[in-house]
A and B are shown apart, each in its own frame.
Chain A
Amino acid sequence: MIEDYTPFLPLSPAALHILLSLAGEDRHGYGIMQEVARQSEGQYKLGPGTLYDNLQKLMAQGLVEASPKPPAHDDPRRRYFRLTPFGRGVLSAEVARLEGVVREAKVHLRAPRRAT
């Protein structure tokens, strides 16, 4: 069965970074913020308002879900989030789309400029 992810694309930068940060492991809100800052080398900083607003939307769309139980050593008040299989598919489709954009950009940037 091939799913059509096009209605969800393109993802907003915040949604892309959140899904990307959850691709490796389940994380709580602050963990997602730290992972986003790490992945973007500090260039993209997510505030808690933007984070939870996007998480709420992504959960409503079925791309992210609350993880059933947090690790035993962690604060039980913290809620963990994880990527659903559907969310992983959307993220893969977005990465493939971005690869196409980068490929196209490289071709055009390499080509010599025409004289006007």
Chain B
Amino acid sequence: MRTLYRCLLWLHPPVFRREYAGEMLWIFDQAAASQGAGALLFDGLGSLARQWLLRSGWWRIALALGLAVLQVALGGFATLIFGHRHIVEPAQNPSVVNIAEFARGGSIAHQPLTIGIVMYLAVFVTGGLTIMVIGLSFWMKSFVARRRHAALRVR
């Protein structure tokens, strides 16, 4: 059980592990008899989930990925509803000309899917994800600072 708990601690984010893992293991040795090793292991699992999902900032990436998937899904639905005819009747001269038109701001709905367009989409989605993650990070930092500042303000 001790080895299992040690593995669980090792799976925590490095910052948390460096700070508290030693003390947590020491407490496990002290309290395993009175509280039960199983209960402590279960508590460690809860801590592991909270640390990765809430405290480490990974939730921002998960949120950004979720938003990106939603964005792609909505785009797909919109294409199905509004761009159906264009997909059924593809343009006669695909490839370079179409990519150039797409780059000039033309609609993608009437373009046949070429490697160039897929690459453009990949670049845009990656760029969008990066911007979302950076934006959320800044927003969260300013949100925490605002909360702290609000708590200290004079009435």
Contact = CB atoms under 8 A, between A and B. Distances in A.
Contacts, number: 84
A53 B50 contact: yes
B23 A52 contact: yes
Contacts of A51: 27
B44 A49 contact: yes
B1 to A, nearest CB: 14
A44 B88 CA distance: 65
Q: Per DSSP, are chain B's interface residues mostly helix, strand or loop, or mixed? A: helix
Contacts of B24: 29, 48-49, 52
Contact of B47 (A3, A33, A53, A61): A53
Contacts of A107: none
Interface residues of B, number: 32
A: interface residue count bin: 20 to 34
Contacts of A76: none
A56 B153 contact: no
Contacts of B48: 49
Interface of A: 1-8, 28-30, 33, 45, 47-53, 55-57, 61-62, 77-79
Interface of B: 16, 19-20, 22-24, 26-28, 30-31, 35, 39-40, 42-48, 50-51, 55, 147-148, 150-155
